[in-house]
Amino acid sequence: MRRRFFTIIAVLAIGASLGFVVIQNSDTFFEVKRGIDLFGTVYKDVAENYVDPVSPQMLMRKGIDAMLASLDPYTVYMDKDNSGEIDLLTSGKYGGIGVSIGTANGKVIITGVIDGYSAQRQGLRIGDQILKIDTTDVSSLKLDGVSNLVRGEPGTQVKLTIKREGDEKPFEVMLVRSEIRVKSVSYYGILDSNIGFIKLDQFSRGSDQEVRNALTDLMARTKLRGLILDLRNNPGGLLEAAVNIAELFVPKGSVIVMTKGRDPSSDRKYVSDQDPIAPNVPLAVLVNGNTASASEIVSGALQDLDRGVVVGTNTFGKGLVQTILPLDYNAQLKITTARYYTPSGRCIQKINYDRRRDGESAIIPDSLRKEFRTADGRGVYEAGGITPDSIVVGEHHSNFVLQLMRGGYFFNYATDFRSKHDSIPAHFTAGKEVLEDFRDYANKNGFTYISRLSQLMDDAEQIASSSNYAPSVQKDVHDLADKIATEERGLFEKHSEEISQLLTAEIEGRFGGDSAQVRAALRYDNQAKVARAMLEDSPLYLRVLGLAH
């Protein structure tokens, strides 16, 4: 029986096919056969003879999972119920109604609505709560179970029961599933000074064509002074998509990435075989700690070839390649089969899973990281992800604002705001009136902020009292606690600018979708501002690339 194999080059991503690994060593073959015999015997005996009834399927799954857990976190067994994300990446489409869903406070919430599909045409909104799918109450279902009910064959119908903020009663809506094509470019546009901007969220089937279309459109609109490619929080995707996107910028014949594995058939060099469409546009790539795998291939290739500056913080550091092996009964095995190397020859894998200490994998120390050279001689290093050419820390939220975020107050308030307003003005900003309304909303909905310092002061007062400290000491402790409490009561005002920025983007997203939210967030994006300034300053840009003479 023929079996197909897919290469994965991301945290969850698939690329080109690889050949089957034939075990030729006779000792290894004997050990594998012996292990299969022993495992099969133990599995059968336990399933049939254990004192209490056990599920053979559960027993088999736990045995496989435990075996694979001794390797790396990317080598996993997937049955038919949890292989949907792999299928989605390989095809770039699925049958659905055009929504993304999440959970908040035990509720199933619509977190995104895709333009042009049934959910958007029928008026569903971000923040709508799903109560039922057809006749099934979703309150007790896991998110995967809800997704499975929403998705289905194109052309079939599904009925959702929806509870909307501001409406007294739930309502039902009948939706028709269609073939949903997943968008990888959530936003592109032209910033000040004719700087183009493309935000790429993943590398799935068709992502390269989306980037090509976006870039072509931007270049048709104006003579670009530079381009920012935003790969922040991009977990990776298809190897072919990464190679094809890099080809848009690098000279024909450039090595983009190499893979090397235990089996010689895993060894491959990916070389650009087409002329770039933007060979001379100055380029800046935004990255952060969640930029992984295929995203690191693109950013690493552009850095090694001195084609663009990398701005942000160190990337995730995943330099491993996985292969998908289809199994019987619609199951699949995703197994690490190779490492990938950037054009300079470095592998950026951060964690060495072969060097385990007390069960923990070792992070390769900086002192052991080997230096490599870019095309024009700049020093770059292996084993720690991609280190940016210009390190710029991203947004940092105060503990006060983080507590508001974790409680869902920004998301829920924006939903409430949308239910009360039909539109917002162009270039909307959450001003004083909105901020006061948000504070009232948060307080009415149970928001209380107790800092770690306040908790420590409560403990200090109790200790001072129970330990019979002098009255003057107890008074000093009490007075300090009052001062801290007074300070914390003014935290809404103290962090009003930070709160306004987050509210502005969230509310913009309710009215204009993902692209509007990204566009609004760019107003306050420090990393994007630095990248834009670098592209506007040609001498600085060339100095960073080591090209200034």
Mean pLDDT of 503-527: 93
DSSP string, 142-201: -HHHHHHHH---TT-EEEEEEE-TT-SS-EEEEEE-EEEEPPSEEEEEEEGGGEEEEEE-
Q: What is the pLDDT of residue 4?
A: 41
Q: Which of 25-34, 183-192, 420-429, 521-530 has the lowest mean pLDDT?
A: 25-34
- List the structure tokens of 355: 């060097």
pLDDT in tens, 421-434: 999 999 899 999 99
pLDDT at 235 over 50: yes
How would you label 220-243 residue by residue, b for 16+ Cβ within 10 Å and e otherwise? eeeebbbbbbbbbbbbbbbbbbbb
Q: What is the pLDDT of residue 356?
A: 56
Q: Which residue has the tokens 């967030």?
A: 521
Q: How confident is the model at residue 14 (pLDDT cuts 50, 70, 90)?
A: very low
Quote the DSSP letter at residue 132: E
Q: Please list the residues that pair with 237 across neighbouring strands.
A: 203
Q: Please list the residues that pair with 136 across neighbouring strands.
A: 133
> 240: number of CA atoms within 13 Å, CB side?
15
Q: Which residue has the tokens 């060339």?
A: 542
Mean pLDDT of 386-399: 92
| Size (the chain), residues | 549
Q: How confident is the model at residue 549 (pLDDT cuts 50, 70, 90)?
A: low
- List the structure tokens of 404: 């508001």
CA–chain centroid gap for 58, Å, is 30
pLDDT at 3 over 70: no
Instruction: Please give the Cα distance from 306 to 377 (Å, whole number).
Output: 9
> Who has greater pLDDT, 252 or 406?
252
pLDDT in tens, 318-357: 999 888 889 998 889 999 999 999 999 999 999 888 755 4
> Who has greater pLDDT, 7 or 277?
277
> Who has greater pLDDT, 9 or 422?
422
User: How many CB atoms lie under 10 A from the CB of residue 325?
Assistant: 19
Residue 381's closest CA among 341, 340, 348, 339? 348
- List the structure tokens of 536: 């506007």
Domains in the chain, ordered, with CATH? 6-86 (no CATH), 93-181 (2.30.42.10), 185-321+338-394 (3.90.226.10), 396-524 (no CATH)
Q: Calculate what percentage of the chain has a pLDDT beyond 90.
A: 66
Instruction: Please give the Cα distance from 186 to 539 (Å, whole number).
Output: 31
Specify the pTM: 0.84
pLDDT in tens, 364-376: 787 888 999 999 9
405 and 375 Cβ atoms separated by less than 8 Å: no
Q: What is the pLDDT of residue 330?
A: 85
Q: What is the pLDDT of residue 19?
A: 31
pLDDT at 462 over 50: yes
Q: How confident is the model at residue 548 (pLDDT cuts 50, 70, 90)?
A: low
- List the structure tokens of 233: 């929080």
Question: What phi and psi, each to the nearest 5 degrees, are found at residue 110?
Answer: -75, 120
Q: Please list the residues that pair with 391 across neighbouring strands.
A: 312
Instruction: Please give the Cα distance from 307 to 285 (Å, whole number).
Output: 10
pLDDT in tens, 50-62: 999 999 999 999 9
Instruction: Please give the Cα distance from 544 to 549 (Å, whole number).
Output: 12
Q: How confident is the model at residue 25 (pLDDT cuts 50, 70, 90)?
A: low
Question: What phi and psi, each to the nearest 5 degrees, are found at residue 457?
Answer: -70, -35
Q: What is the pLDDT of residue 9?
A: 53
Q: What is the pLDDT of residue 293?
A: 92
Cα angle vertex 542, ends 539, 545, to 5°? Answer: 150
> 321: number of CA atoms within 13 Å, CB side?
28
Q: How confident is the model at residue 544 (pLDDT cuts 50, 70, 90)?
A: very high
Q: Which amino acid is at 243?
A: V
Catalytic residues: 293, 304, 318
Instruction: Please give the Cα distance from 281 to 212 (Å, whole number).
Output: 14
Instruction: Please give the Cα distance from 205 to 241 (Å, whole number).
Output: 7
Question: What phi and psi, each to the nearest 5 degrees, are found at residue 473?
Answer: -70, -45
pLDDT at 173 over 60: yes
Question: What phi and psi, each to the nearest 5 degrees, are found at residue 198?
Answer: -130, 125
Average pLDDT, the chain: 89
Instruction: Please give the Cα distance from 535 to 54 (Å, whole number).
Output: 63
> Who has greater pLDDT, 310 or 240?
310
Q: What is the pLDDT of residue 2?
A: 37
Q: What is the pLDDT of residue 174?
A: 94
DSSP string, 375-419: TTS-EEESSS-PPPSEE-------HHHHHHHHTTHHHHHHHHHHH
Q: What is the pLDDT of residue 340?
A: 94
Q: How confident is the model at residue 106 (pLDDT cuts 50, 70, 90)?
A: confident
pLDDT at 453 over 90: no
pLDDT at 297 over 70: yes
The three-class DSSP label of residue 80 is coil
| Distance linking the first and last C-alpha atoms of the chain | 61
Residue 225's closest CA among 198, 194, 248? 194
Q: How confident is the model at residue 11 (pLDDT cuts 50, 70, 90)?
A: very low
535 and 529 Cβ atoms separated by less than 8 Å: no
